[in-house]
Amino acid sequence: MATLVEAPNGVKPKGKHYYSMWQTIFEIDTKYVPIKPIGRGSYGVVCSSINRETNEKVAIKKINNVFENRVDALRTLRELKLLRHVRHENVIALKDVMMPTQITSFKDVYLVYELMDTDLHQIIKSPQPLSNDHCKYFIFQLLRGLRYLHSANILHRDLKPGNLLVNANCDLKICDFGLARTSRGNEQFMTEYVVTRWYRAPELLLCCDNYGTSIDVWSVGCIFAEILGRKPIFPGTECLNQLKLIINVLGSQQEADLQFIDNPESSKVYQVTSIL
């Protein structure tokens, strides 16, 4: 549970109060009253909270020492920039960004999101039965949210069950935009290694840096299969093994279908993998 504590330096800034959860100190605006911690990751801790002004339940994510790691800082900035402009019922809403007391010397960032109950990964691995209607409704919402993002030229680039939040009404929302990018089409060159491996499209496994919205659609297909089978369809141990698992299920492709591979060495790798 959340425990109210004194300010670490003994001086309480105006408009802030301090809570301890999971050995982590939260410095948050007084309009928010934390309830309990609900998640932890490499970034920090997430807690549920109530906005006393609106009586709305929210989730507060504390990102620790955000400027220590350049990659983490860029991911946080990217998510902030994108979520400021997107509004859709199947995309997680960023409700608030708490202003630090010291603009020039703050280390932690506090983001406030709408509160959801769980994620699709937890549902899939649970013993709870899923009907065909459940499966269809989850995928419908995922595709609807993805269509909105792609219409805004946004590639999510890390779709997986753990990044799909769900509430008790089976409403689904896409979250975690730290790897997302804006794109004007399939001709823009971007970094290669994105998407958690099990949900990574073949063009990414083959080190193509010229890709588009199809990489997100591939991830949706993997998620759909995982919902139906209650386990990942392509649980590769490394990139070559991942490619082999895909070929075992879908079969090898004709040379004409491999024109998207812009790296000659990657083309050779595919040919060898397909006959192993």
Active site (annotated) includes residue 209 = no
CATH number at residue 87: 3.30.200.20
Longest dimension (CA), the chain: 69
174 & 44 share domain: no
Distances (CA, A) of 80 to 35, 38, 72, 146, 154: 24, 21, 12, 18, 14
For residue 271, the Cα-to-chain-centroid distance in whole angstroms is 32
**What are the residues whose beta carbons fall under 8 Å from the beta carbon of 145, sequence distance 6 or more?**
88, 89, 90, 91, 172, 173, 174
32 & 147 share domain: no
Would you give the DSSP letter of residue 10? Answer: S
Q: 111, 139 in Cβ contact below 8 A?
A: no
68 & 204 share domain: no
3-state secondary structure labels for all residues of 206-267? CCCCECCCHHHHHHHHHHHHHHHHCCCCCCCCCHHHHHHHHHHHHCCCCHHHHCCCCCHHHH
CA-to-CA distance for 18 and 150, rounded, in angstroms?
Answer: 40
222 & 255 share domain: yes
**157 falls within a domain:** yes
pLDDT of residue 268: 44
Q: Which domain-ending residue is among 114, 131, 151?
A: 114
Q: Which domain-ending residue is among 114, 130, 164?
A: 114
- Which of 3, 59, 10, 54 lies closest to 31, judged by CA? 54
107 labelled ligand-binding: no
122: containing domain: 118-268
- Rounded to two decimals, the pTM is 0.87
**6 falls within a domain:** no
72 & 170 share domain: no
**Catalytic choice (158, 176, 257, 262):** 158
223 & 125 share domain: yes
Give pLDDT tens digits along the chain (276 positions).
Answer: 889 999 888 888 899 999 999 989 999 999 999 999 999 887 789 999 999 999 999 999 999 999 998 988 998 999 999 999 999 999 999 999 999 988 888 999 999 999 999 999 999 999 999 999 999 999 999 999 999 999 999 999 999 999 999 999 999 999 999 899 987 654 454 554 567 899 999 888 887 777 889 999 999 999 999 999 999 999 999 988 999 999 999 887 666 655 555 555 544 444 445 545
Q: 60, 47 in Cβ contact below 8 A?
A: yes
**8 falls within a domain:** no
97 & 216 share domain: no
